[in-house]
Amino acid sequence: MSLKVPKANNIQLFKDGYKQVQGLEDAVLRNIQAVAELSDLVRTSFGPYGRNKLVINHLGKLFVTSDAATIIREIEVVHPAAKLLVMASQAQEAEMGDATNLVLILGGELLKKSENLLVMGLHPSEVIKGYELALSKALSELEKLSPYSLPTPLTPSSLATALKPAIASKQYGFEDKLSELVAEAALVVLPSNPKNFNVDNVRVVKIMGGNFSMSRVVQGMVFGREPEGVIKKATKAKVAIFTCSLDISQTETKGTVLIKNADEMLNFTTGEEKQLEKIIKEIADSGVKVVIGGTSVGELALHYFNRFNIAVLKVLSKFDLRRVSRVVNATPLARMGAPTPEEAGFVDVFETVEIGGDRATVLRQLAPGDEGYDPAWHGEKTRTATIVLRGATMNHLDDLERAVDDGVNVIKSLLKDPRLVPGAGATEVELSRKVDEYGSGLKGLVQHAVKRYASALEVVPRILIESAIGGAEANEILSKLWNKHQEKEKDGFKWGIDIEFDFQTDGTIDTVDRKVYDSLAAKAWAIRLATEAAISVLSVDSIIMSKPAGGPKVPQQSGNWDEDD
């Protein structure tokens, strides 16, 4: 007979202050609830009728937007499982620049669907296996759903058509004009090899006042300020860029000077003035007509710049300074002095224009065919375009800028992979149908997970209906959409949700006829990242949190600190 070994009680594995939660009830289901909460937060911001969120970040800055990437960036999510989904959304933003909300919504929906299976007794590993099978099936079916690719050579109208749905999901009502502006700006900066398209070459300048219809594209860089001196225009100009302050250099220590008579007082600053004049004369002699400074410009220096007919522009943003250096092909100098021929840049036109009631400075590089273009002029050309946005409030302009940013990123992904798939929820319904059929043919418990994955894909058309016309009609329109996809086996995949539902139609549209498309690459990445995030959350069965760093919190003392107790 074996002896019973008594169990040791109170084994302390971790330091004091550690928290550990484990098991299905405490860890897995709690994680699913946290992710569902995050998913519900951005769910109502999805699609053209998505609602805006008013977010005030920790610095007190105000954001009014329906862009999920901005919302997630500005709210501080602390729950570790929800952070996994946030990271997946950020990966989508970095990779594609669009469809971040789809990652959050689909990831949250997949976890909601898995909750019932886990409660019924399925092991998380069965659910994970089913989701992996469903993901590979969905991605292989997605490859077959592209009815249209971006034609080559690119035209403004074909590019605007492809952009419109992505921009409409952020700025519904402005999508026609915005997509035209983005397409025009992108074609201006398009390199000979389109795969080398750089999103940085399309800039946005926001000028308050007027209305959105006054927005336009300017070929070149636009700065929302006037040059500092009296010289406002230069053509075929050599450019010098300085990151240091354009002024007399200040000593680190203070000194005392004793002045004995009037002559000494008059001649006190003469040496400095002569030295500064000499430096600026050297800059002028090197052929420089335009100087761009990154910090302050002193009054005396400005006086000499004006005397030598040099235009001076202050650019306070270091990012803009870097960008303008690339455009004019100049090297930013950290010392004040004449640039060498390799360090100087070139610009065709430097001018001041009036946009609305504001004065702005434009740097333009001319292309063959432009008025004033000189083929003998040897300035190396880096194409850039600026979209000048006009609007009544800065919050609205910020939101327009985010829509432009999405549009430019969509162009970048389309130039790498030009395939487009039907939008308006059509692709998700077709994938849901195909995955459901695939699940029905499987044996074992994994088929339940595959079928739940299929029903989770329906969340996209459901949200589009709910945000456009409320939830009352959602089930009815969704069932009509399913019927069209099943009845029209050959081209049923192109039917999607009509967000302009007016009770005269059945709530569905032919997306190919209406030209409502989404990027295939962006959709594939979103589905992959959402599934991987959901699988990561499901594979966690225990959360171990160490004690936060930092000393003990000092309790608040009541009353004044020097009062007697």
The enclosing domain of 110 has a CATH number of 1.10.560.10
Contacts of 560 (CB under 8 A, 6+ apart): none
pLDDT at 379: 47
pLDDT in tens, 383-423: 778 888 888 888 788 888 888 888 888 888 888 878 888 87
Q: Which amino acid is at 153?
A: P
Q: How confident is the model at residue 282 (pLDDT cuts 50, 70, 90)?
A: confident
Are 363 and 231 found together in one domain? yes
Are 434 and 529 found together in one domain? yes
Q: Is 44 exposed, middle or buried, given 0-12, 13-18 or 19+ CB atoms closer than 10 A?
A: middle
Percentage of the chain lying above the pLDDT 70 cut: 79
Question: pTM to 2 decimals?
Answer: 0.76
pLDDT at 378: 47
**Quick check: is 340 in a domain?**
yes
Q: How confident is the model at residue 250 (pLDDT cuts 50, 70, 90)?
A: low
* Choice between 196 and 492, residue whose per-residue pLDDT is larger: 196
User: 381, 399, 415 — which closes off a domain?
Assistant: 381
Are 494 and 444 found together in one domain? yes
Are 375 and 508 found together in one domain? no
User: 323, 353, 381 — which closes off a domain?
Assistant: 381
End-to-end Cα separation, the chain, in angstroms: 69
Tell me the C-alpha distance between 173 and 42, whole Å: 21
Average pLDDT over all residues of the chain:
76
The tokens for 121 are: 């007794």
* Choice between 403 and 481, residue whose per-residue pLDDT is larger: 403
Are 376 and 233 found together in one domain? yes
pLDDT in tens, 306-354: 888 888 888 887 787 888 887 787 888 887 777 787 778 888 788 887 7
pLDDT at 280 over 60: yes
**Quick check: is 316 in a domain?**
yes
Domain span at residue 455 reads 18-147+423-546
Q: How confident is the model at residue 180 (pLDDT cuts 50, 70, 90)?
A: confident
What's the mean pLDDT in 63-76? 80
Q: Is 407 exposed, middle or buried, given 0-12, 13-18 or 19+ CB atoms closer than 10 A?
A: buried
Are 374 and 447 found together in one domain? no
User: 381, 412, 440 — which closes off a domain?
Assistant: 381
pLDDT at 376: 54
pLDDT at 209: 76
**Quick check: is 184 in a domain?**
no
Q: What is the CATH number of the domain that holds 317?
A: 3.50.7.10
Percentage of the chain lying above the pLDDT 90 cut: 0
- Cα dist. 185→11, 82, 160, 213, 358 in Å? 66, 37, 11, 16, 22
Under DSSP, is residue 21 helix (H, G, I), strand (E, B) or coil?
Answer: strand
Q: Report how many domains make up the chain.
A: 2
* Choice between 553 and 197, residue whose per-residue pLDDT is larger: 197
pLDDT at 20: 67
pLDDT at 214: 77
Are 377 and 459 found together in one domain? no
Residue 241 phi/psi, 5-degree rounding, is -120, 130
**Quick check: is 157 in a domain?**
no
**Quick check: is 280 in a domain?**
yes
Q: How confident is the model at residue 381 (pLDDT cuts 50, 70, 90)?
A: low
Are 373 and 247 found together in one domain? yes
Helix (H) or strand (E) holding 314: strand 311-314
pLDDT at 7 over 80: no
The separation between CA 119 and the C-alpha centre of its own chain, rounded to angstroms, equals 38
Q: How confident is the model at residue 33 (pLDDT cuts 50, 70, 90)?
A: confident
Are 225 and 108 found together in one domain? no
What's the mean pLDDT in 47-64? 80
**Quick check: is 10 in a domain?**
no
pLDDT at 565: 45
**Quick check: is 475 in a domain?**
yes
* Choice between 151 and 340, residue whose per-residue pLDDT is larger: 340
Are 433 and 483 found together in one domain? yes
Are 356 and 437 found together in one domain? no
Are 357 and 430 found together in one domain? no
**Quick check: is 467 in a domain?**
yes
